[in-house]
Amino acid sequence: MIPDIVIVIAAALFIGVYVSWRAGRIDRLHARVEMARAALDVTLLRRSSVALELATSGLLDPATSLLLASAVHGTRDSASTGRPRDLAESDLTRALRAAFSQPDFRASLSGKEGADELLAEVEAAAHQVFLARKFYNDVVAATREARRRPLARILRLSGRARAPEFFEMDDSLIAESSGAPIGK
Amino acid sequence: MKIGITCPYSWDVPGGVQQHVRDLAEALIDEGHEVSVISPADDDTPLPPYVTGAGRAVPVPYNGSVARLSFGFLSTNRVRRWIKDGGFDVLHVHEPEIPSLSLLACWVASGPIVATFHTAIPRSRILLVTYPVVRTGLEKINGRIAVSEAARTTLVEHIGGDAVVIPNGVATRRYRKADPLPGWPGPGGAIGFLGRLDEPRKGLPVLLKAFEVLGPRRPGLRLLVAGPAADPEEVLHKVPAELRDRVVLLGQVSEEDKARVLHSVDVFCSPNTGGESFGIVTAEAMAAGVPIVASDIEAFRQVLRGGEAGELFATGDAADLARAAGRLLDDPARRAGLSATALAAVADYDWSVVARGVLSVYETVVLGRTQVAVIASGSEFS
């Protein structure tokens, strides 16, 4: 017969290992959230800078240029304008969509030096934002789910780390009206 | 003179710039000039004969809100064709710092260009006017007009150069005659107010306080209040319950109804506590010939000729307003006198006078220059 004390010690050990594994998982999830957020930030910045390059390229008319530049400015300056980052980034999406969804937009630029490359770059950057945001929100969802488990709540396994927030914005690649896509 | 005017905002949406362009164009036509306006407009909008539609404006985020603007190469082509066909002696663009038709017109045109700046440009937008594409357009402007001292100041400080200040005119004809709203002013008399209800500087709280004094003493007296508010109920709740049914809120009213509101009251009140550079609403009330009681701020003192064309009361002082309004309500002869003086005084601010000021700017910039033309496509950046 195994003495009771051994069973108790084994059970305590098992619970300890399990709890520590759960805590470690939540910790790793938080780290992944941070990495995903950094990646999302990089894609957003990249999109802003390519959009600004398009705005100042001289390929577009000054009104479209100014619209894009103003939207880029809004994403960089969201702290001082008081407009939240997600709304400012959505504004940039809509400004890009308004520019790209003009009828014959591409045809009007084809043949101009560097136009095709720049448009492709904007589209690629916009598509990367779409992907990075999807990955970020996936890991945020997994983290929030893990934090919500009863054991995690009772034992406060997430420590003082705050629950990560989803990043919601308009990054839809297809313009509703004309069907002209931004990104592929 | 053949004049081409560009309006950056949709013709079918009410707004200060659109109104200005319309009044200016009509005043210039009355003076015998040939005027053509190009403006974004929905295809099914009925346009006056002097307006060319530049197609539907597209709603886009701009400066933290959604604006309806015309941009892109299709709009550029329309503006180019309009200039080419117009053969204008002068091109007058409004708000060229907005990404819309006026900026496009500056871009494709050469020759005498006059620009009118309507708003004080917020700091965040100042950076943007330094973009080369925009600067190239703005640098072609030969004469600049600001509609207010505030608009001129931002222009001078942030874009450089100077501008002449020519304030908005008043379309006095539009206010001269109108039918009162049914049942107004009524036997007990009525006092009117026009403006945002929840903007403290427009002074409605001062008028409501004065009505607490006037109301109980004059059982038939009513207040007619027109203007938008985020929460009209809240405004009404500041009025004592027993007077509440004598305060009538109309909400935002159309231009036509504005004239009718002015003709529906015995006394019009401008209780502003500040922040007015001219007091366009007060001037419109003068044009309607309704006796005015206004706060003693610089702008009103000026337009009301120091009190000859309207009663002035101590700014923000409800008791003084109650006294002044009461005196006017009791004295029909004084009311008739103020009304006649106001009608004469407001003629100085009529659009016909303003249009002559604008014309002299045109005449200065066309001296020694050729007609407005389109620069060769593709060389816009040279």
Where along chain A do its domains lie?
Answer: 4-154
Taking the CA of residue B239 and the nearest CA in chain A, the distance in Å comes to 35
CA-CA-CA-CA torsion sign (B60, B63, B66, B71): negative
Of B202, B155, B120, B168, give the one whose Cα is nearest residue B18. Answer: B168
The average pLDDT across B356-362 equals 94
* Alpha carbons B354 and B370: distance in angstroms, whole number: 25
How would you classify the pairing of strands B222-226 and B90-94?
unpaired
Q: Which two tokens stand for residue B38?
A: 């190009």
Which candidate from B58, B124, B381 shows the least CB-CB separation from A81? B124
Query: Among A3-12, A134-143, A152-161, B357-366, where is mean pLDDT lowest?
Result: A152-161
Which range has the top average pLDDT, A1-15, A162-176, B363-377?
A: A1-15
Strand order in the sheet with B222-226: B247-251, B222-226, B190-194, B267-270, B292-295, B311-313
A171 near B CB under 8 A: no
CA separation for the pair B73, B78 (Å, rounded): 9
| Chain A residues near residue B58 by CB distance under 8 angstroms | 98
Q: Hey, do B2-169+352-374 and B172-349 end up sharing a CATH topology, with the first three levels equal?
A: yes
| B330 burial type by CB count under 10 A (0-12 exposed, 13-18 middle, 19+ buried) | exposed
- Whether residues A61 and B74 touch (CB distance < 8 A) is answered with no
Identify whether the C-beta of residue A58 lies closer than 8 Å to the C-beta of residue A64. no
pLDDT at B97 over 70: yes
Mention the CATH class of domain B172-349: alpha beta
CA dihedral sign, ordered B53, B58, B63, B65: positive
Do you know the residue count of chain A? 184
**pLDDT confidence bin for A182, thresholds 50/70/90:** very low
Answer for the pair B149, B155: CB distance below 8 angstroms, yes or no. no
pLDDT at A184: 37
Q: How far apart are the C-alpha atoms of A179 and B277, rounded to whole Å?
A: 47
Q: How many CA atoms lie within 13 A of B101 on its CB side?
A: 35
Would the pLDDT of A178 be above 50? no
**Low-confidence winner among A32-46, A86-100, B157-171 (lowest mean pLDDT):** B157-171
Judge: A64–B99 Cβ closer than 8 Å, yes or no.
yes
Domain spans of chain B, in order of start = 2-169+352-374, 172-349
For B230-247, letters b (16+ CB in 10 Å) and e give eebeebbeebeeebeebb
Q: Tally Cβ neighbours within 10 Å of residue A159.
A: 9
Q: Give the pLDDT confidence score for residue B245 in this predicted structure.
A: 86
What is the rounded average pLDDT of the residues B150-174? 82
B342 pLDDT more than 50: yes
Q: Which helix (H) or strand (E) holds B352?
A: helix B351-366
The whole-angstrom separation of Cα B245 and Cα A107 is 63
H/E segment holding residue A161:
none
Binding-face residues of A in 106-135 toward B, CB within 8 A? 108
Q: Residue A40: which of A140, A122, A117 has the closest Cα?
A: A140
Contact between B10 and B58 under an 8 Å Cβ cutoff? The reply is no
For B78-95, how does the pLDDT look when each residue is reduced to its tens digit (9 = 90+)?
A: 999 999 999 999 999 999
Q: How far is B110 from chain A (nearest CA, A)?
A: 16
Give the DSSP letter string of B291-347.
Answer: -EEEE--HHHHHHTGGGTSSEEE-TT-HHHHHHHHHHHHH-HHHHHHHHHHHHHHHG
Average pLDDT on A168-177 reads 69
B123 confidence band (pLDDT: 50, 70, 90): low
Q: What is the largest CA-CA distance in chain A?
A: 88
Residue B126, pLDDT score: 52
Which range has the worst mean pLDDT, A109-113, B211-215, B232-236, B378-382?
Answer: B378-382
Structure tokens at B225: 């209040």
pTM over 0.90: no
Identity of residue B358: V
Q: How confident is the model at residue B277 (pLDDT cuts 50, 70, 90)?
A: low
> What is the reported pLDDT for A149?
86
Q: Work out the minimum CA distance from A106 to partner chain B, whole angstroms.
A: 11
Who wins on pLDDT, A139 or B12?
Answer: A139
What are the pLDDT digits (tens) for B345-354?
Answer: 898 889 989 9
Q: Which CA distances in Å does A133 have to A59, B264, B272? A: 29, 58, 50
The tokens for B39 are 């403006």
- Is residue B221 within 8 A of residue B248, CB to CB? The reply is no
Mean pLDDT along residues A77-87: 76
Q: Looking at beta carbons, which residues of chain A come within 8 Å of B106?
A: 62
List, in order, residues 6 or more apart from B320 with CB less than 8 Å away: B313, B314
Q: How far is CA A165 from CA A35, A77, A148, A156, A169, in A?
A: 14, 21, 14, 19, 13
Beta bridge partners of B192: B224, B268
Question: Across residues A24-32, what is the average pLDDT?
Answer: 90
CA distance linking residue A58 with residue A60, whole number of Å: 6
DSSP 3-state of B221: coil
Average pLDDT over residues B134-138: 79
More confident residue, B231 or B20: B20
- Lookup: tokens for A74: 């809004």
Residue at B367: amino acid letter = L
Q: Does A67 touch chain B (CB under 8 A)?
A: yes
Per-range mean pLDDT, top range of A72-81, A170-179, B245-254: B245-254
- Written as six digits, the tokens of B282 are 């007060």
User: Hey, what amino acid is at B105?
Assistant: A
CA atoms within 13 A on the CB side of B297: 20
CB A68 within 8 A of CB A100: no
Residue identified by tokens 């969509």 is A97
Structure confidence at residue A176 as a pLDDT band (50, 70, 90): very low
Average pLDDT over residues B142-158: 83
Helix (H, G, I), strand (E, B) or coil at B113: strand
Q: Do B63 and A70 touch (CB under 8 A)?
A: yes
What is the rounded average pLDDT of the residues B135-146?
86
Q: Tell me what the pLDDT averaged over chain B comes to.
A: 86
% chain B with pLDDT above 70: 94
| Range A143-150 average pLDDT | 89
Please report residues of B whose CB lies closer than 8 A to that of A66: 99, 103, 128, 131, 133-134
Residue B137 has pLDDT above 90, yes or no: no
Task: Examine the pLDDT at B382 and tell me if it is beyond 50.
Answer: no
Token pair 């407005």 is found at B372
The owner of tokens 């591409």 is A106
Q: Residue B117: beta bridge partners?
A: B146
* Mean pLDDT calculated for residue range A68-88: 82
| B3/B231: higher pLDDT | B3
From A83, which residue of chain B is nearest by alpha-carbon distance? Answer: B64
Q: What is the pLDDT of residue A177?
A: 42
Cβ pair A63:B61 closer than 8 A = no
Instruction: Look at residue A140 in the predicted model and tell me its pLDDT.
Output: 95
Percent of chain B with pLDDT over 90: 36
Q: What is the predicted pLDDT for the residue at B129?
A: 58
CATH class of B2-169+352-374: alpha beta
pLDDT tens profile B209-219: 999 888 888 88
Beta bridge partner(s), residue B59: B68
- Check CB contact under 8 Å for B60 and A94: yes
Q: What is the mean pLDDT of chain A?
A: 86
pLDDT tens by residue, B21-71: 999 999 999 999 999 999 999 888 889 999 999 988 888 888 777 888 999
Confidence of residue B130 (pLDDT cuts 50, 70, 90): low
A73 touches chain B (CB under 8 A): yes
**CB spacing of A62 vs B100 below 8 angstroms:** no
pLDDT for B128: 60
Helices (H), chain A: 4-55, 62-76, 78-81, 85-100, 105-109, 115-148, 150-154
Write the DSSP assignment of B232-262 as a string of letters: HHHHHHTS-GGGGGGEEEEES--HHHHHHHH
